[in-house]
Amino acid sequence: MASERRYAVLAHNELGTFHAKTAHGVMAYGVSPTVVVIDRAHAGHSVREIVPHLQCDAPIVASFAEAKQFGPTALLIGIAPSGGVLPPDWRAEIVQALESGLEIVNGLHLTFRDDDEFNAAARRGGGSIWDVREPPASIPLFSGAAWEVPAHVLLTVGSDCAVGKMTVSLELARAARDAKRNVAFVPTGQTGIMIAGWGIAIDRVISDFAAGAAEQLVLTAARDHDLLIVEGQGSINHPAYAPVTLGLLYGSAPDALLLVHDLSRTEAVGFPTPVLSYSELIRIYELLCSTVKPARVVGIALNTSSLSPDDAQKAINDAIFETGLPCDDVVRNQPHNLWRAIAPVLTQKTRPVRAKARVPSS
């Protein structure tokens, strides 16, 4: 499941910006080390000098040719080209990496496996291509096997998309590891997949198989872990993305849910649809789970990055008062307090609901 990659991260001109957030995520949370970054605008510095919070001392070089000396096994495309078209110089460096036998880890919408030049370079040099967003060719329908895993499954569910479900999942997994739990972060979107080195982008799976894909991830992670923290997607009332949310809610067969909300969000990304209150969200998520396999919301993780320290604490207190549940901002305040509050319930399994034998009507 976990990979043994050593990353060269391609991030020309953008390492310090928001556009490199995939690269930042991989450096902050990735299971595979970043040994060198390729960014001609920041060559000669270390990552830490450009992005202090990453605590990463990898050198920055100007080209793939210079990066090779650091022994990378994979080239990770750490930023997205503007306009969606690969610049010619990126293309040349990707070809060089493939010719040098490296694996290309690509989270872009562009499918590198469909590119004749890349395929030819891979054949020449023994390199390979991993298009992270492309689901496996054959995903089975949901079967119910995920109901039977002995591992406890915690799923993060959101008030909207892009509120911080992945970060919360990763931070809680860190706290669980610190507490000596045998925990797996289960990635369901492209950044999470690049961080963990495995996973399926559920939003790219054919809708009939979305729940089946989530189930496969749980079955895989449950082989050698006894606590799974599944990265959620979207929100149950997002007009476009809710089907993905529901595929995860049923397919990952959670025993417990953790609600994630960003205090700056009042409507769904891209739509006038209102973000629901904590109690409305809890009611809907728990109601849906109660029809297939019960799971309760056991805590709330808030993204308070838009608020002052005082307002953040007030927002946390408000959420506790409204719901009676443990609540914290796991980035601002570290994940350990929230972890300790919810850990005691993250051992109990719930059972799927089963139809009772019907009494024949007259």
Interface residues with a second copy (CB under 8 A)? Answer: 141-142, 144, 202-208, 210-212, 236-237, 239-244, 246-247, 250-251, 266-267, 271-276, 280, 284, 287-288, 291-292, 311, 314-315, 352-356, 358, 361-362
Q: Which is nearer to a second copy, 276 or 346 (CB)?
A: 276
Cα–Cα–Cα angle for 67, 69, 74, rounded to 5 degrees:
55
Cα–Cα–Cα angle for 345, 350, 352, rounded to 5 degrees:
160
Phi-psi region of 192 (alpha: psi -120 to 50; beta: other; left: phi over 0): alpha
CB of 246 to a second copy, least distance (A): 5
Q: How far apart are CA 341 and CA 338, in angstroms?
A: 5
Query: What are the distances in angstroms from CA 193 to CA 32, 164, 196, 204, 287?
Result: 12, 15, 5, 13, 29
CB of 358 to a second copy, least distance (A): 5
Q: Which is nearer to a second copy, 22 or 237 (CB)?
A: 237
First to last CA, the chain: 55
CB of 267 to a second copy, least distance (A): 4
Beta pairing class for 34-38 and 60-61: parallel
Residue 333 CA, chain-centre distance (Å), reads: 21
CB of 276 to a second copy, least distance (A): 6
CB of 200 to a second copy, least distance (A): 11
CB of 315 to a second copy, least distance (A): 8
Question: Which residue do the tokens 């590119």 mark?
Answer: 115
CB of 233 to a second copy, least distance (A): 9
CB of 301 to a second copy, least distance (A): 19
Nearest Cα residue to 10 out of 67, 82, 73: 67
Q: Which is nearer to a second copy, 53 or 354 (CB)?
A: 354
Q: Which is nearer to a second copy, 82 or 291 (CB)?
A: 291
- Residue 260 pairs with which residues in a beta bridge? 158, 301
Q: Which is nearer to a second copy, 120 or 206 (CB)?
A: 206
Query: What are the distances in angstroms from CA 100 to CA 59, 123, 125, 128, 159?
Result: 20, 11, 5, 10, 45
Q: Which is nearer to a second copy, 99 or 286 (CB)?
A: 286
Q: Which is nearer to a second copy, 344 or 357 (CB)?
A: 357
Query: What are the distances in angstroms from CA 112 to CA 94, 109, 115, 131, 289?
Result: 10, 9, 5, 6, 38
